[in-house]
Structure 1
Amino acid sequence: MKTLLINAHPDYQNPAHYSLKLKTAFEERYHKAFPQEELTSLTLYAQDIPRIKEGQLQSIWAKQATGTALTTEEALVAKTSQDLLQQFKEHQRIVIASPLHNFNIPSALKDYLDNILIARETFRYLDTPQADGKASTGLMTEDYRMLVLYASGSIYTENDFYQDLDFAPKYLKAMFQGVMGFDQVAIVRAEGTATLPEEAIMTKATQQLAERFEAFYR
C-alpha cells in the first residue's frame, strides 16, 4: 500500500521543530520496515496550494457549476487541485506532520483539506439523512488510515484548561474519519514543547510512534 507523508510546517526545512523531528523518526521507521517501498512526500508550504478565494477555487467551482469556460490561470489552478485530490485518493496511508498554531492547524493544511474534501470524490451527500441526522457518507472506506504527528507548546491531554482547546486533532479526526470514512485516525503527540525538556518529550512521543506505527500498517 502507498503512503503519503505531508509536511504541514511553514518552516518546513528546519529540523529543530518537534513535528519535523517526529516526521524524521517516522521516515526512519518506515524505511526500516519497508526497505523496498517508496514514500511519497508532499510539503505544503513549498508549493501554492489552491485556496477558496476569487480567481482560484471560488471562481473555478462557480464556473464549473454553470459550464462556463475557465481562464488560463484558473485552468492551471484547477489542474493543481485535481492533482492533489488524485494523489490523496491513491494513497491508503496518510501521515501528517503538523504543529499547532494559535490552537489550530496551519492555514496551508486547511487549504489542502479544501482540495480533498470534495463531494462525490471523497464523500457524498445522502438523499435522506440517517437516523442520527448525518446527511453524508464517506467514500474513502477501503482501509484508508491517517496518522497525525502533532507538536504543541502546551499539554492538551490533562484534565485542565487546555483540554477544551484540543479541537485541532478532533477536527482532523472528524473530517477524515467522520466525513470521508477513514477506518482509522491515530495521533502521536510531542506536547509541552514550551516547558518540558526535549529528551522527555521525544522519549514519550517516539514510544507513541512505535505503538501507532505497528497498528497503522497492520
Structure 2
Amino acid sequence: MANVLVIESSARQQGSVSRQLTEQFIAHWQAAHPADRVTVRDLAVNQVPHLDANLLGGWMTPAEQQSDAEQAALALSNTLTDEVLAADVLVLAAPMYNFTIPSTLKAWLDHVLRAGVTFKYTETGPQGLLSGKRAFVLTARGGIYAGGSMDHQEPYLRQALGFIGVHDVSFIHAEGLNLGAEFLEKGLAEAKAQLAQVA
C-alpha cells in the first residue's frame, strides 16, 4: 500500500480546471491501486501561513527557548513535512497565476523545504532526503506556455522538488484554456488522455 498526498492550490472551488484534473487523477489512481491511501490537503480551504519570524524562530531556536507563537508555527510546519515524508507519491495541482504558481503553493513549499528534514547541507552542497518518491504536477493554463520562456512553473517546481530529492516528476499541462472553445477542448482532452495513463 502506498500513500498518495494531493496538494490543491486553486483559489476556486467551482469551475477550477486543476481541481477537475485532480479528481480524474484520484479516480484513475484508486481504480488501479485500490489499497492505496489518498490524502488531500486543500491550501485554499486550510491556508498555510507565509514564512514569517515565528516560523523562522521555531526552526532556529532551541525548544526550551521558543515562544508560544514559535511553537505553534513549528507544529504546523512539522505536520506538513510529516505528510510529505510519509507520502510515496506527491500530486501538486497548480493553476498558473501570473506565469507561476499560486502563492498558497509557494507558502506550502516554504514549510516543507526544510534543512535537516527534507534536505541537508553537505561539503559538496545541498542533498535531498526524499529519494524514491514520485511526483505528478497537474497544471491549468489560460495560454500555451510549455517549453517557452514565460513558463516559470515547470522549471521552478522541478528545481524545488529535485532539491529535496524528488526527481521522478511528471507534468501534465492543460493549456490554452482561455484561447477559445477549440483550444479549451483540445487542452482538456490532451490532459485527460495523459491522466488516463498515469496509474
With the length of structure 1 as denominator, give the TM-score of the two structures: 0.83
User: How far apart are residue 68 of structure 1 and its match?
Assistant: 6.1
* Equivalent residue number for residue 194 of structure 1: 178
Q: Is the 8 A contact 2:94 2:101 kept in 1?
A: yes
| Aligned-partner residue type, residue 161 of structure 2 | F
Which residue of the partner structure matches residue 5 of structure 1? 6
Select between 108-117 and 201-210 the one with higher mean Cα deviation: 201-210
> 114, 121, 126: which is aligned to 2:122?
126
Query: 1:48, 1:58 → 2: CA distance?
Result: 18
Q: What SS class does the counterpart of residue 115 from structure 1 fall into? A: helix
1:152 counterpart residue number: 141
For 1:136, the equivalent position in structure 2 comes to: 126
In the alignment, does 2:104 pair up with 1:108? yes
Pick from 54, 57, 60: which aligns with 1:59?
Answer: 57
In the alignment, which residue of structure 2 is the partner of 1:72?
A: 68
The question of whether the paired residues in 1 share the 8 Å contact of 2:51 and 2:111 is answered with: no
Structure 2 portions without partners, runs of 5+: none
Q: Is the 8 Å Cα contact of residues 51 and 111 (structure 1) preserved in structure 2?
A: yes
1:70-108 CA distance string (max 9 Å, x none)? 222321221111011011100010001110111111111
Q: 1:187–1:25: structure 2 CA closer, same or farther, 3 Å change rule? A: same
For residues 192 and 170 of structure 1, what CA distance do their matches in structure 2 show? 19
More displaced stretch, 86-95 vs 30-39: 30-39
Given candidates 208, 212, 215, the residue that maps to 2:194 is 208
- Please report the RMSD computed on the Cα atoms of aligned residues, expressed in angstroms: 1.7
Distance 1:62 1:137 in 2: 20
- Deviation at 1:169? 1.1
Tell me the CA shift for residue 62 of structure 1: 4.2
Equivalent position SS for 1:121: coil
Which residue of 171, 184, 187 corresponds with 2:156? 171
Structure 1, unpaired ranges of 5+:
130-134
- Please state whether the residue corresponding to 1:101 is helix, strand or coil: coil
Percent identity between the aligned chains? Answer: 28
| TM, length-normalised to structure 2 | 0.91
Misfit runs of 4+, over 4 Å: none
Equivalents in 2 of 1:58, 1:36: separation in Å? 38
Q: Is the 8 A contact 1:99 1:151 kept in 2?
A: yes
Q: Secondary structure at the match of 1:181?
A: coil
Query: What letter corresponds to residue 115 of structure 2 in structure 1?
Result: A
Question: Structure 1 CA distance, aligned partners of 2:89 and 2:154?
Answer: 17
CA distance in 1, matches of 2:47, 2:190: 34
Do the aligned partners of residues 47 and 157 (structure 1) sit closer, same or farther apart at CA in structure 2, a change above 3 Å counting?
closer
Q: For the residues of structure 1 that align with 2:134 and 2:57, how far apart are their CA atoms?
A: 32
Partners of 1:4 and 1:39 within 8 A in 2: yes
Matched to 2:127, the amino acid is T
SS in structure 2 of the partner of residue 45 of structure 1: coil
- TM-superposed CA distance for 1:30, in Å, is 1.6
The structural deviation recorded for 1:49 is 1.3
Aligned equivalents of 1:151, 1:38: Cα separation in 2: 25
Q: CA deviation at 1:44?
A: 1.1
Aligned residues: 196
